A and B are shown apart, each in its own frame.
Chain A
Amino acid sequence: MSSLRNSFRSGPDERGHFGMFGGRFVAETLMPLILDLEKAYADAKGDAAFQRDMARYRKDYIGRPSPLYFAERLTEHLREISAASGGAGGAKIYLKREELNHTGSHKVNNVLGQILVARRMGKKRIIAETGAGQHGVATATLCARFGLDCVVYMGAVDVARQEPNVIRMEMLGAKVVPVQSGTRTLKDAMNEALRDWVTNVHDTFYCIGTVAGPHPYPMMVRDFQSIIGEETRWQMQEVEGRLPDSLIACIGGGSNAMGLFHPFLDESSVEIFGVEAAGHGLDKQHAASLTGGRPGVLHGNRTYLLMDGDGQIEDAHSISAGLDYPGIGPEHSWLHETGRVTYLSATDEEALGAFQLLSRLEGIIPALESAHAIARVIELAPRRSKDHLMVVNLSGRGDKDVPQVGDILKGRKK
């Protein structure tokens, strides 16, 4: 068989399917827009001027490339753990420093691309959904930069637990709408954004924050985030002279993970791990759609979802607002079923532990989302040999989580 036919990187097909996942499950009102967007994105992709703009803003506005940093003390710490249990392992851990991007997370990579596409389409009003607020902040930032109106939908629960980001968005000139329907988290913010879009189709561009939604969003967002993996590839070549041996990233919708993974999917020597949020535990309330859900249709695509036996969507739970979503991008569902990527999970407690460990050992306060990936690194790295090169995507910084984590830790001291 040809290597092309065996590729994990050839999806989606022309109808937006990754295997049985993906598709375009939207109301008729939105369908013409989605077809327009598909065309506009294809045009942009093939336009040298668009690519030049992307490269320029990535470098001078976002601050790319983001460093690939050898986490020496974390590596040493996990080697000691391995030695304490009689082992000689402890992978060499590199952090892909997406938290150093302008606005503090990987989200800006995607927003830059979508805003440049929106401008080509002549759209003047941008809407977005946000969970932790990172995508909302990135969207508000680029709307400020390009003089576009910006409305961000955010679940009322998330507005309360991620207040620093709400203030940032408002300072940047965005209107933040707290969503009171449903569970008042990310899923409901997305419902409300879709309701806005269907009402204001004529002038509004929906800037989706993750690799989910109707085609072409999962593909387009993946393409914009793939810069993470592309850089990792040449950076690792530069420092170690070879490919990494494993990749790890946290997953809510899954855009930071897809961005890191995609350029490596056809490198069979590279182990790939996605980490979902196990919340209070997989037998309790959690947000691990692949581990605890099954295929269904929501928000424009077929993918793994948390739901009851009647097809009603269930409430997700995670300490991290950015992972608190009952679904996952359709390409992840496909990579799960094909077995190319191994999907693990980490609980709220494990993420809190990893959050503190990385802060103390490396002087880097990670986002609670990214801390889920670190939590699995703590377990996986000691079981790998010392010449194993492990890359973890540090997708966001934890400034926004400082008040929330501070309150939790203070509560425990009492």
Chain B
Amino acid sequence: MTTRIDTRFAELRKQGRSAFVTFLMAGDPDPATSLAIIRALPKAGADIIEIGMPFTDPMADGPAVQAAGRRALDAGMTLTGTLRMIGEFRKDDDSTPVVLMGYYNPVYIYGVEKFLDDARAAGVDGLIVVDLPPEEDSELCIPAMKAGLNFIRLATPTTDDKRLPAVLANTSGFVYYVSITGITGSAAADSTAVGAAVGRIKRHTSLPVCVGFGIRTPDAARGIAERSDGAVVGSALVDALSASLDAEGKATSGTVQAVASLAAALAEGVRSARQAAD
């Protein structure tokens, strides 16, 4: 089954460049502004859009993404609302891949089968669920594959060669390499080490390998794009969004533009990368 993710990477390969992948939280700072931001991202140069499913207890996220989730929940965002928002986005854009990212409990409570049906219908292409390692594949990964959704796995610096095959076994779409041991938005990734790690993963899989965690600037994005199939930026975009809010944490007239401008600059960084020599 070919998903929008597979199609997008095939196009990028033809163009000879890496993907620019954005992450923002659904409903941050409110559902309407969030939809406007997501609509602006493809034009700003996002090749793949990751959308966070807000959760009260994001154990792998740093302060920026935690606060984004809190704003979204306070503004009334739910998983149903998140899927509805993606459905709205899909009315004008049928090509940009959308990946939902988050934690398992809201999906589990929504009901796995119903969630997969509704996510597909809304136009979701892939899932990243932080607290579902391969050991728990029967929960969501296998059903998602059967439903035609990509299940994108995180590989980390602690995922050694012995463990990589297990991590890659049921992965599809792309592999998300977490460049640091840590939470989102913390340390900067060292692009030389990242290059070595991406090479190591590529010896085990033909899937594209995107890299995230710690990428904040167009230069850093270019460095990563030169050594991988895609650079994922999350916390820096969330910070730009947060900085544009008023004193009460509400959206201002500059919020959408603040995120879109940074996204455009980061996309430029990715597009200026020298083609990876592989």
Contact = CB atoms under 8 A, between A and B. Distances in A.
Interface in B125-144: 130-136
A338 interface: no
A317 to B, nearest CB: 15
A187 B183 contact: no
Contacts of A240: none
B186 interface: yes
A375 to B, nearest CB: 30
B198 interface: no
A106 B92 CA distance: 60
Nearest to A15: B135
A392 B107 CA distance: 39
A242 to B, nearest CB: 44
A312 B181 contact: no
A24 B136 contact: yes
Given A32-B159, A195-B183, A311 B178 contact: no
Given A25-B136, A32-B160, A181-B66, A198 B109 contact: no
Given A33-B158, A181-B66, A300 B131 contact: yes
Given A198-B182, A311-B109, A27 B133 contact: yes
Contacts of A198: 59-60, 181-183
B171 to A, nearest CB: 11
B148 interface: no
A25 B132 contact: yes
A297 interface: yes
A310 B79 contact: yes
B135 A313 contact: no
Contacts of A202: 181
A307 interface: yes
A182 interface: yes
A227 interface: no
Contact of A307 (B79, B109, B136, B163): B109
Contacts of A32: 158-160, 163
A26 B109 contact: no
B57 interface: yes
B105 A311 contact: yes
A15 B137 CA distance: 12
Most A CB contacts (10 A, CB to CB) among B63, B105, B132, B157 go to B105
Contacts of B132: 25
Contacts of B261: none
Contacts of A201: 158, 181
B31 to A, nearest CB: 14
B201 to A, nearest CB: 12
A199 interface: yes
Given A30-B158, A32-B163, A298-B57, 9 more contacts: A23-B135, A27-B133, A29-B158, A31-B133, A194-B59, A310-B110, A311-B55, A311-B105, A313-B105
8 contacts: A27-B59, A27-B154, A29-B60, A29-B182, A30-B158, A298-B57, A312-B55, A313-B105
Interface of B: 55-63, 66, 73, 78-80, 103-110, 130-136, 153-160, 163, 167, 178, 181-183, 186
